[in-house]
Amino acid sequence: MNVLLDHLPEFRDGFLGTLAITAASALLALVLGLLIAGFRVSPIPPLRAFGTAWVTVLRNTPLTLLFLVAFFVVPQILFPGTSPFALATLALGFYTSSFVCEAVRSGISTVPIGQAEAARSLGMTFSQTLRMIVLPQATRTVLPPLSSIFIALTKNSAIAGAFSVTELFNVSKLLSDKGFAIGWIFLWIALAYLVITFAISGLFRVLERRMGVAR
C-alpha cells in the first residue's frame, strides 16, 4: 500500500495517460475502421483493393513494429517534432482500425441484401445506403466484438510506455528501476487496468441493452 500512497501522483498521471491514449486511439480506430469498412464493401474496385490492402498489412504487422515505424520513421519523413503521445496514438489507432473494419464488415454482411437493393431502387447513393440503412442495423451485431477490440486496445497501450509516453506501464517501469517491490507495483497497475476494462465492458453492455430494446 505504501508504494501506491507514496507515489500517488505518478500512478494518477499514468492512469490518466492510459485513459487518454486509449480514448484517442479508440476514436481514431473507429473513424478509420468505419471508413475502410466502407471501402471494403464499395462497388468501386480500387477502393475495395485499398481496403483489403489496409487490413491485410496492418493485421499482419506486429504492433511493436508499427510503434518503431511511428517513432523513428514518421518524424523523419512526414511530421518532424510530433509528440510521443500523438505518435503512439497513430500506431495504436491504425493497428486497431483494421480489426474495427473487419468487425464492421461482418456486421454489414448480416443486413439482408434486399434492403440495400431497395434503397438503391429509391435512388439512394451507395454512401447514403450505407450510412442511413445498413450501418444503423449492423451496429447491433458489431457492438460485442467492438467491446473486445477496445479492451484489447487498452492492454496494447502498455507498449507506449516503452516509448516515453506517460501511462501505467511507464510508471511501473520507472518505479521498478528505482528498486521498489515489483510485485506490489504490478498489483496496483493490474487493478488500474481492470478498472478501465470493466468500464469499457460496462459501457458496451449498456449500449447493447439499448440497442436490444430498439430492435
Burial 181-194 (b: 16+ CB within 10 A, else e): eeeebeebbeebbe
pLDDT tens column, 178-198:
666 677 777 888 888 999 999
pLDDT tens column, 15-29:
899 999 999 999 999
**Burial degree of 75 (CB within 10 A; 0-12, 13-18, 19+):** middle
More confident residue, 141 or 33: 33
pTM of the complete model beyond 0.95:
no
Q: Which residues contact 101 (CB under 8 A, 6 or more apart)?
A: 32, 33, 34, 36, 37, 40, 51, 54, 55
pLDDT tens column, 46-91:
999 999 999 999 999 999 999 999 999 888 887 788 899 999 999 9
Q: Which residues contact 8 (CB under 8 A, 6 or more apart)?
A: none
Cα 190 vs. chain centroid, distance in angstroms? 20
